[in-house]
Amino acid sequence: MWASLASHLAYHVTTVINSVCVCVCVCVCVCVCVCVCVCVCVYRKIELYEMGWSLRDGLKECLVAAAPYGGPIALLRQPQRPSSSARPQLEIYSSSGANMASFPWKSGPVRQLGWTVCDDLLCIQEDGTVLIYDLFGAFKRHFSMGNEVVQNQVLEAKVFHSPYGTGVAIVTGASRFTLATNIDDLKLRRLPEVPGLQGAPSCWVVLTQDRQTKVLLANGVDLYILDNTSCTPVVRQTQTTYSLLCLIILALSPLTVCVFQTPPGLSPQACSIVNMAVSFSYKYLALFTDSGHLWMGSANLKDKLSEVDTKVRTPPKQMVWCRRPKSQQPSVVIMWDRLLLVAGECTDTIQYTLDEESVCVAELDGVRIIGGSRHELLQEVPSACQDIFKIASMAPGALLLEAHKEYEKSSQKADEYLREIKEQSVLGEAVRQCVEAAGYEHEPETQKTLLRAASFGKCFLSNYPPEPFVSMCRDLKVLNSVREYTVGIPLTHTQYKQMTVQVLIDRLVYRKLYPLAIEICRYLKTPEYQGVSRVLKHWACCKVQQKEEPDESIAHAVSVKLGEAAGISYSEIAARAYECGRTELAIKLLEFEPRSGEQVPLLLKMKRSQLALSKAIESGDTDLVYTVVTYLKNEMNRGDFFMTLRNQPVALSLYRQFCKHQEQDTLKDLFNQDDDHQELGNFYVKASYKEKKLEARLSLLQSAVDEYNKAKNEFAAKATEEEMKLLRFQRRLDEEKGEALLGLSLQETLHALLTSNFHKQAEQLYRDFRVPDKRYWWLKLTALAEKDDWEEMEKFAKSKKSPIGYLPFVEVCVKQHNKYEAKKYVSKVTPEQKVKAHLAIGDLEGAAEAAIERRSEGEISTVLSRCSPTTDRALLERLNRARSTAAKK
Amino acid sequence: MSAHLSYGRVNLNILREAARKELREFLDKCGGSKAIVWDEYLTGPFGLIAQYSLLKEHEVEKMFTLKGGRLPAADVKNIIFFVRPRLELMDIIAENVISEDKMHSPRDFHMLFVPRRSMLCEQRLKEQGVLGSFINIDEYILDLIPYDGDLLSMEDMHIDTTHECYLESDQTSLYHTAKGLMTLQALYGTIPQIFGKGECARHVANMMLRMKREFAGSQTQILPVFDSLLLLDRNVDLLTPLATQLTYEGLIDEVYGITNGYVKLPPEKFSAQKKQGEAGKDLPTEPKKMQLNSAEELYAEIRDKNFNGVGAALSKKAKIISAAFEERHSAKTVGEIKQFVSQLPHMQAARSSLANHTSIAELIKDITTSEAFFDNLTVEQEFMTGVDTDKVNTYIEDCIAQKDPLIKILRLVCMQSVCNNGLKQKLLDYYKREILQTYGYEHMLTLNNLEKTGLLKPQTSTRNNYPTIRKTLKLWMEDANEQNPNDISYVYSGYAPLSIRLTQVLARPGWRSIEEVLKMLPGPHFEERQQLPAGLHKKRQQGENRTTLVFFLGGVTYAEIAALRFLSQMEDGGTEYIIATTKLINGTSWIKSLMDRPEAQS
């Protein structure tokens, strides 16, 4: 497959690269350009292609649908004589008439064909079923326009495009409209009933206005606007003023606030509207009446542009708008069996005779006319082209072109022309015109001539920006290569700019023109991510569907071709392979995916959960790991699940986290399985805090002790045992003495006991729990002070030598505002703490004495900082003296 | 409002603007009037991105705090939940939605996951049967929030890094860190050099490199703003956060706690500043809330000073301001007076800012001059200089006996353990027993946690390598100059934070000079290079400084930030630093996040 593509590629490489600025492409078509003028506008009809198809009866008896932007053409040929045996033939062609698909139609009768924005073919059947096929006639999917349709049948259908995508509108045998604005996000809307409508309306169109999709329909003389909620008649009042009939609209429905205007200035003799058309942008509306009048105006029916009497009373076969963005005048192309008529703002019209059955396709900037043998483009001649090519034009561009022609001939006239341009200082304008005009020309030779002239003119300009010229050369090169007969996308420059390169690449990809698409991406230097990689991905997705090739070779081919291309999503390709039932291939392809995160969902879908788990872990995305873990949990039995986790520590710790918050019991099982006794111990300890009943709490703690012992954590086991001992002690005391000790810490318990005069019990706890002397002394000291039990304190101080010294005694007394008691202990304080003790009781003299005695500079300073210069002057002097001597030392 | 973010070397406002844009886009996706239901944790960090006015512009009419039961009544079309992806929150939301559905009120529900959407949570919503009720489920990627012109924090939005990552080896936060760094690189260009130290740092770097591979091709072509990235695992430097910070901002955080750039202060000191008419009426009882960032000129000037230098700075500033006010007397001509008046608002702002900071400084001074503060600091400094770290410390003993706050005890014990490279089993058990007996046995689990993280540990080898580290890295500087610092050690009045020394040495002369010490510190150290797309190599001007992003995994203190700012400002430093972290911490909040039942500890 790739080999054939490669040869294809080689061909295109030469096409795209062989010239410096403009592609010398051998154009198969012969351009026949006839310019005709109507009012101030000039129109031209260019032949795009000579159709490559061979249709026996032209387009007769065919349902035809051609997509805009040079899209494909679908034909459904009805058998000559409807018999049960003969089936209609569905054929798909490129714009140049190259066959892309052809197969007998086996489903129900088709009412309408249409193309989506993604180049998919919609076949709307009589029973309301819409079948979707791709460009190559492969069935993709189908949907229905509602149950009601099955009975009543579709009378008429239209496919329309809006910013929301491709939509379908139908009218049923019961004269009801149903709309789907976007077939990819199908939401059917049944529009309200139209009063008095029997069967199909005489004509109707779908409009998109103010983000709303509406139907405008004519039933004989009446015009209606149908939206989601209401049907608003566009009422005509026959009130004559001066020469025109003034029509006023009344919005009858109470639900709608907006008032529509009737087509202003529609002539009185107009009775029945037989055809209507909206412009490509939904801005303009054209109405054709049975009196042969054509009314043109804005689609909101507020303004009239013009009215033309075509003098043809037969209802037209087709009517389309023909205008370009920024055009001087809009016009409408009306087609009858043998006649094509262009009507503009003034009463003149242009007429063309048609020699074969044709179909008109509205484009952004013109109308394509597809006939049995030819494919033409009818458009208003852009002003740049007019200026340059008009006979005897003196426009700057025309002069420049002339100058260049003379220059080529080595004639000195070149200089004259140039001089003339320069004198008017319009050389810049001339270059701009030539560049612009080149964009509008289809013939590569003409493009080249214009661009050469522009390039020539540029030489005489010092600061002309190169971008417009360069990008035009690039655009034309791309355009010429896609207009090429074998590709068959007759895009104009205006359309190309509107559609963007991205979409063009997509279209090429839909046509499986991968090499050309890649070549264009490379040529335009589109970032790999959006360009080449995307094309390659599509190619690979297509490749994996080739059933006959073995997995190995496909995987190999894909990896070789895609290689290190940036931003390739292998998982998407793998997903496609999986959809085609090639699981093994999908797994092989996933191996190439650099983003492990991307692999996971598909692996889960394919039930490769173990692999999914390791990929999830690799990605580092914990949410992904959680997802797989939850999946595994539901899928596996508990034992296997735990075993799997055991081999994946990251997943295990995450799962533990999850259990900690959500499933405590599972957490225990996990620890048990791992023989993690330390964590089990912790688990029991934690559980014990949640337990209200003491017995249960104790038994949980006992379990914790056992586990800690198993974990050889002596300290924890012992501490927990102590805790149990304390709890039991507290309970006993609470029961015996009515204290409320339960839950207090050992320290708090002791404190409570000491303050409540349970000295004996306190002593017992002190011994049993081997409370360090120091802490016990502190505790007792504070407890006694808080009770103001100074006598007991004094006894306590004398009971034996204090392990915490006597400064705490001083401080605790001071804290309880008892300086008197505090003084008793000052003398007992060690010399180092003397100063502090004196200061604590506010005895500056004493402090000073002690500090001077110790000859400590720091301490003297401390005392000094407490002295006030007014009251303690003598002391200050002494201290200062002492400090200086201490410092000298 | 956010101008101060753009003054620094790197314009962090770009990041904020990107976040705001995304928020606006999401809000516009839900057309019509809206009510936001907030996960309370998010309101603080969100305040740094967008004020209420922005929300209001996008038709947000009501805001509620997420809680169980029914939603408060609100006449709006859309209800939007702003939540972290947590299962327990999903249950509450389900409850809200179900009760709302029962009322048959025609409302559109939307969900915005911050910082990332989670399949696990969506699964939970599905189980609860409410997933279908949501029209939009989206994610708001808010990893690194700009806190100041040179400071980014993730503020542990997703998960408590210290607790989950170091205790439960849950690497979620590391994944988010890596993602955040990728976002940063998308805005500021690929960082060519990555250095790191520690297990977590290695892990983050690996994930970053992997992600870069994964997104190859979609890179933005931006000239790199950062020259290098340094990933530092908090595990490498457990000591620094334990020490009491001595910079102005550090002390405000130590004493009052700064959350999301705001501090709540006791109101008494500030009452006098009210206008005279109101002053007499009543003393304010609500704490005074103040925003602290470099938008305030004076604060930017003094925040990173050692507290002992703040007084002088304040009085200098006072003189300048009063001199400026005096100028009005010399203003004679109309032009001069006009000029004076035009400066008046700025001067008045400066004056009120000065008054505020004088009050704060007074509040803090009351604490720093207290004996308890002094004793505590003395012990800390003894440990840091290696005095008697292997013996029972009497001060700790006394504090336990007097039942000082547990966190204070834990900070000190941990510090002793860290400075001694672990405590002898006997000593460790003694401390533990003292703590359990005094504060209750339930703290056994907390102690267990501290042991798991290595903050407390039994000494395994006989050799204590802390002194070597201290000497090689010059962690203790005897003559720290607090007024006019010449070394980073001023932020702790002597102790130079290890993490910052590592950063400093990396810039000059490079880590190769301290290989030995690096080996002693836990975890691997590494250097990685990221290929830059051709044409994006920076050409450095002569004398142009390098810009380094220092990312602290597991938290950073204000004192460390101050030290880095000091290095940035050094004239011959040659490197400017931008700081990023998972969370702004101090010793207290850090230990708290490691406690088993912090709520039990009042």
The reported pLDDT for the residue numbered A300 is: 80
Interface of A with B in 695-754 (CB under 8 A): 715-716, 719-720, 722-723, 726, 744-748
- Reported as type and span, the H/E element at residue B259 is strand B258-259
Q: Is the pLDDT of residue A17 over 60?
A: no
Interface with chain A: mutation pick from B88, B444, B553, B596, highest number of A CBs within 10 Å = B444
Q: Which of A64, A26, A32 is nearest to A47 (CA)?
A: A32
Interface with chain A: mutation pick from B116, B425, B441, highest number of A CBs within 10 Å = B441
Q: Is the pLDDT of residue A704 over 80?
A: yes
Q: Is the pLDDT of residue A609 over 50?
A: yes
The reported pLDDT for the residue numbered B106 is: 72
Nearest CA in chain B to A594: B214
Q: Beta strands B262-265 and B288-291: pairing type?
A: antiparallel
The reported pLDDT for the residue numbered A82 is: 58
Distance from A797 to chain B by nearest Cα, in Å? 17
Taking contacts as CB-CB distances below 8 angstroms, the residues of chain B near A754 are none
Distance CA(B508)–CA(B539), nearest Å, equals 20
CA distances from B240 to A463, B237, B396, B561, B585 (A): 63, 6, 19, 12, 11
Taking contacts as CB-CB distances below 8 angstroms, the residues of chain B near A726 are 441
Distance from B337 to chain A by nearest Cα, in Å? 46
CA distances from B288 to A496, B256, B265, B383 (A): 63, 11, 5, 36
DSSP-derived 3-state class of residue A95: coil
Distance from B209 to chain A by nearest Cα, in Å? 11
Q: pLDDT over 70 for what percent of chain A?
A: 90
Taking contacts as CB-CB distances below 8 angstroms, the residues of chain B near A723 are 436, 441
Tell me what the mean pLDDT of segment B278-289 comes to: 64
Distance from A651 to chain B by nearest Cα, in Å? 9
- A832 close contact with B: CB closer than 8 A: no
The reported pLDDT for the residue numbered B32 is: 83
Taking contacts as CB-CB distances below 8 angstroms, the residues of chain B near A627 are 119-120, 123
Interface with chain B: mutation pick from A700, A744, A747, highest number of B CBs within 10 Å = A747
Tell me what the mean pLDDT of segment A759-768 comes to: 90
CA distances from A102 to A208, A609, A866 (A): 34, 44, 108
Q: Tell me the sheet residues that pair with A295.
A: A287, A307
Q: Do residues B170 and B26 make contact, with C-beta atoms less than 8 angstroms apart?
A: no
- Of B178, B217, B437, Cβ closest to residue A567: B217
CB contact under 8 A, A722 and B215: no
The reported pLDDT for the residue numbered B80 is: 92
Q: Do residues B581 and B152 make contact, with C-beta atoms less than 8 angstroms apart?
A: yes
Six-digit token string for B395: 């001060």
Helices (H), B403-460: 406-419, 425-439, 444-453
CB contact under 8 A, A626 and B85: no
Q: Is the pLDDT of residue B598 over 60?
A: no
Q: Tell me the sheet residues that pair with B148.
A: B151
* pLDDT confidence bin for B483, thresholds 50/70/90: confident
CB contact under 8 A, A747 and B441: no
Mean per-residue pLDDT of chain A: 83
The reported pLDDT for the residue numbered A40 is: 54
Query: Residues near B357 by Cβ (< 8 Å), separated by ≥ 6?
Result: B298, B299, B302, B314
The residue with greater pLDDT, B562 or B334, is: B562
- Of A650, A661, A769, Cβ closest to residue B171: A650
Q: pLDDT over 90 for what percent of chain A?
A: 25
Interface of A with B in 532-551 (CB under 8 A): 533
Nearest CA in chain B to A688: B442
The reported pLDDT for the residue numbered A244 is: 32
The reported pLDDT for the residue numbered A520 is: 92
Q: Kindly report, residue by residue over B116-171, the tens digit of the pLDDT.
A: 888 888 888 998 888 888 888 888 888 889 999 899 998 876 566 666 767 777 78
Q: Do residues A177 and A191 make contact, with C-beta atoms less than 8 angstroms apart?
A: yes
Q: Is the pLDDT of residue B231 over 90?
A: yes
CB contact under 8 A, B174 and A627: no
- Of A630, A653, A775, Cβ closest to residue B123: A630
Q: Tell me the sheet residues that pair with B546.
A: B575
